[in-house]
């Protein structure tokens, strides 16, 4: 079977990494994979190694921030039509049997598959609006109505996302499938130093990731003589970074903060940490949470979005209300003091490795594929 994967980019974001892992799993099971990306990027070479062919086709988004003006909505239609017919030609020329679009943000693969008469799966990795503050330019209800009628299957990555999209899609169309989450695995951290705490936060520095609450927690703890250190790993939204930087300077926190910037090997920073902190208010899945558990570190995660699906409080990690800094302060104070971490990191490691791996992903994915053909 020939499968065409339409990706939002060739950069190693969450949906792109999942798509790459899906392609690897399908290749292992004997499927031929073809890929469409809008332009070359860091993942391009790796995708080329796994796919039978990779095509560069500009693929306009139908969600954005800020929202399109009325005139731009009209102008964008030309780009959509152009991309749709280019993708349709790829489908026909390569005898594609199934198309998978790997984000809710780009519609052209779905329209092209409909015109070519092949089934389409929409693999949704994000809320789009409440996590990334993006706007559905042609209306959320209209866009998701089209997604529903254009797709034989909708795949989501968490129960939280399933509940979010359930009102918009036919219930028999939606499947929840666990990611693979390939990540370096180390033995769980069994102990840590008392009166010490090294924290790592992996992900883009942006309002949606809510890093400010971590700084607020440091400020409160510092007044009590507790001085954890946070390393931020990821790119930066300049406007949000200014807010963080001003807070750090105003409250004399610079010695407790490291901005490591983007890294192609974030696990090198994770390995140096005692715990991984995820403060997002609306995390559709939480790849970093699973990575933390697989790396044998303690995960501290917002209890909103998919966080509570992945973490059982005080059993496989810690949950806190991302609107309540005192809850986070309480957890960090506890971790500052303890030395024995064996039970929590071991249980988390076992949960992550059992539930997020190529076998689990492949079995669920093959079931969805069979229902499309």
Amino acid 142: pLDDT: 97
Residue 24 parent element (H or E) = helix 14-28
- Burial of 335: CB neighbours in 10 Å, binned 0-12, 13-18, 19+: buried
Strand partners of residue 55:
36
Please give the radius of gyration of the chain, using alpha carbons only, rounded to the nearest integer.
21
At 368, list the tokens: 């969805």
In sequence order, what DSSP letters do the residues of 314-349 get, joined into one string? TTTBEEE-TT-HHHHHHHHHHHHH--B-HHHHHHHH
Interval 285-308: pLDDT, tens: 999 999 999 999 999 999 999 999
Average pLDDT estimate for 55-81: 94
Amino acid 343: pLDDT: 98
Amino acid 373: pLDDT: 84
Amino acid 305: pLDDT: 92
Interval 168-211: pLDDT, tens: 998 899 999 999 999 998 999 999 999 999 999 999 999 999 99
Interval 308-331: pLDDT, tens: 999 999 999 999 999 999 999 999
In sequence order, what DSSP letters do the residues of 32-45 get, joined into one string? EEEEEESS--TTHH
pLDDT at 133 over 90: no
Amino acid 233: pLDDT: 97
Name the residue with higher pLDDT: 284 or 373. Answer: 284
Amino acid 194: pLDDT: 96
Interval 333-363: pLDDT, tens: 999 999 999 999 999 999 999 999 999 999 9
Report residue 162's pLDDT band, with 50, 70 and 90 as the boundaries: very high
Domains, in order of start, for the chain: 2-180+357-372 (3.40.50.2000), 198-355 (3.40.50.2000)
Amino acid 230: pLDDT: 98
Q: Break the chain down into helix, strand, coil percent, rounded to 5.
A: 45, 20, 35
Amino acid 132: pLDDT: 83
Its pTM stands at: 0.94
Q: How far out from the chain centre does Cα 40 lie?
A: 20
């Amino acid at each position: 079977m020939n499968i065409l994967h339409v990706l939002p980019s060739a950069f190693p974001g969450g949906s792109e990494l999942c798509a790459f892992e899906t392609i690897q799993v399908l290749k292992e099971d004997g499927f031929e994979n073809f890929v469409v990306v809008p332009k070359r990027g860091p993942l391009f070479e790796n995708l080329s190694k796994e796919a039978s062919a990779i095509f560069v086709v500009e693929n306009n988004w139908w969600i954005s921030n800020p929202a399109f003006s009325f005139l731009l909505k009209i102008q964008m239609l030309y780009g959509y039509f152009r991309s749709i017919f280019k993708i349709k030609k790829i489908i026909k020329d390569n005898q594609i049997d199934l198309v998978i679009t790997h984000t809710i943000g780009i519609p052209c693969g779905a329209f092209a598959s409909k015109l070519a008469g092949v089934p389409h799966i929409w693999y949704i990795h994000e809320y789009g609006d409440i996590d990334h503050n993006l706007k559905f330019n042609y209306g959320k209800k209209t866009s998701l109505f089209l997604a529903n009628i254009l797709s034989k299957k909708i795949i989501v990555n968490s129960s939280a996302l399933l509940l979010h999209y359930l009102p918009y899609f036919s219930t028999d169309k939606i499947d929840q499938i666990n990611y693979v989450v390939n990540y370096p695995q180390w033995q769980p951290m069994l102990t840590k130093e008392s009166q010490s705490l090294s924290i790592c936060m992996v992900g883009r520095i942006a309002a949606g990731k809510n890093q400010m609450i971590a700084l607020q927690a440091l400020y409160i703890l510092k007044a009590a003589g507790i001085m954890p250190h946070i390393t931020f790993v990821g790119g930066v939204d300049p406007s949000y970074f200014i807010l963080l930087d001003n807070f750090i300077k105003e409250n004399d926190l610079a010695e407790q903060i490291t901005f490591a910037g983007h890294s192609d090997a974030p696990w090198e920073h994770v390995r140096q940490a005692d715990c991984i902190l995820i403060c997002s208010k609306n995390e559709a899945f939480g790849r970093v949470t699973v990575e933390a558990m697989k790396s044998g570190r303690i995960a501290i995660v917002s209890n909103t979005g998919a966080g509570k699906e992945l973490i059982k409080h005080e059993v496989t990690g810690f949950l806190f209300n991302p609107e309540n800094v005192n809850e986070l302060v309480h957890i960090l104070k506890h971790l500052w003091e303890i030395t024995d971490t064996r039970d929590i990191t071991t249980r988390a490691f076992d949960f992550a490795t059992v539930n997020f791996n190529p076998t689990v992903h492949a079995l669920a994915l093959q079931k969805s594929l069979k229902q499309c053909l």
